[in-house]
Amino acid sequence: MRKIAVLLLAAAGVSLAGAASAADLGAAPIYRKAAPVQVFSWTGGYIGGYVGGAFGANDATTTVPVNAAGVAQFGGPAASYKYNSSVIGGYTSGYNWQFAPNWVIGYEGETGYIGTKGSASYAGRATSIATTRAEGLYSVWAARFGYAFDRSLVYVKGGAALVNFETGASDGSAAGVHLDTMHNKYRLGYAIGGGWEYAFDNKWSVKAEYLYLGFDNNITTTGNLAGNAGTQVWTTTSLPGIHTAKVGLNYKFDALSYFLGAMR
């Protein structure tokens, strides 16, 4: 019996020592998987606004008025003049898709205000004025193609531009010498350029962009010389291209989620 009691006491001592050691070591550490690193993507729709400036690429010219037979109604040459610079501003919207893995393609539309214009008198006729105005709302629809360096996007852009021009000649300074061939006409041209955009947040980005608006055609307008009952005459104006430069702010959103939410 004495031996059995000794063995039981020894076993109890070993158990107590093990428990004490386990308590000293503390609870086993719990390992958690690190949160995944969030990778920014340019994919998604966006809306935004911009402000900048515009000016003519070269001179505009308006011919001397001619009659139906093509005879000039007074001496030449054609009037030549520059566009003044103008502030531009408006809003933009579009969609980007990032693929493979750094390339980005997308569509972008912009509508804004432009106010470039110019005028000049004909040689020897100080009151006969040729004028061209690209003034009012204009629109651009373009594709974008770029390369993303994480949150920086460098891109090229090209598409169509629609601008309202008022062109022609006028002279109302003296009785019986009234000249008016001024008319408003929309012209569809092309837009080409590029820029840089930086996403400083998952939703917000800023951009700087240059865009050239080109119009490879002329505008011919008709009117009367020497009063409403006078000779019908025509003037033809060559349209210069327009340089534009702008900075903008865009807000990015998940276009699919937005659409599905609107349908609920």
Among the residue ranges 32-46, 96-110, 128-142, 209-223, the one predicted with the least confidence is 32-46
Q: Amino acid letter at 256?
A: L
Q: Residue 261 above 70 pLDDT?
A: no
pLDDT grade, residue 34 (50/70/90)?
low
Per-domain boundaries in the chain: 46-263
pLDDT digits (tens, 9 = 90+) for 207-246: 999 999 999 888 999 988 776 567 889 999 998 899 999 9
Q: Residue 200 above 90 pLDDT?
A: yes
Q: Residue 11 above 60 pLDDT?
A: no
In the 8-state DSSP scheme, what is residue 175? T
Rounded to the nearest integer, the mean pLDDT of the chain is 84
Rounded CA-CA distance 258/3 in Å is: 83
DSSP 67-110: -TT--BSS----EEEPPPPEEEEEEEEEEEEEETTTEEEEEEEE
Rounded CA-CA distance 114/137 in Å is: 6
More confident residue, 31 or 137: 137
User: Which of 9-18, 230-239, 253-262: highest mean pLDDT?
Assistant: 230-239
Q: Amino acid letter at 245?
A: A
pLDDT digits (tens, 9 = 90+) for 149-172: 999 999 999 999 999 999 999 886
Q: Residue 66 above 50 pLDDT?
A: yes
- How many Å from the N-terminal Cα to the C-terminal Cα in the chain? 84
Q: Residue 174 above 60 pLDDT?
A: no
Q: Residue 29 above 80 pLDDT?
A: no
State the pLDDT at residue 126: 82
Query: Could you tell me which of 14, 91, 96 has the C-alpha nearest to residue 48?
Result: 91
Mean pLDDT of 27-41: 64
Q: Are strands 79-81 and 60-62 parallel, antiparallel or unpaired?
A: antiparallel
pLDDT grade, residue 76 (50/70/90)?
confident
State the pLDDT at residue 173: 66
More confident residue, 31 or 124: 124
Task: Please give the structure tokens belonging to residue 39.
Answer: 């990778």
Q: Return the exposure string of 182-202: e unless at least 16 CB atoms fall within 10 Å of the residue's CB, then b.
A: beeeebebbbebebebebeee
Q: Are strands 183-199 and 204-214 parallel, antiparallel or unpaired?
A: antiparallel
More confident residue, 193 or 16: 193
Q: Residue 81 above 70 pLDDT?
A: yes
Q: Residue 260 above 50 pLDDT?
A: no
Burial of 93 (0-12, 13-18, 19+ CB in 10 A): middle
Architecture, CATH, for domain 46-263? Beta Barrel (2.40)
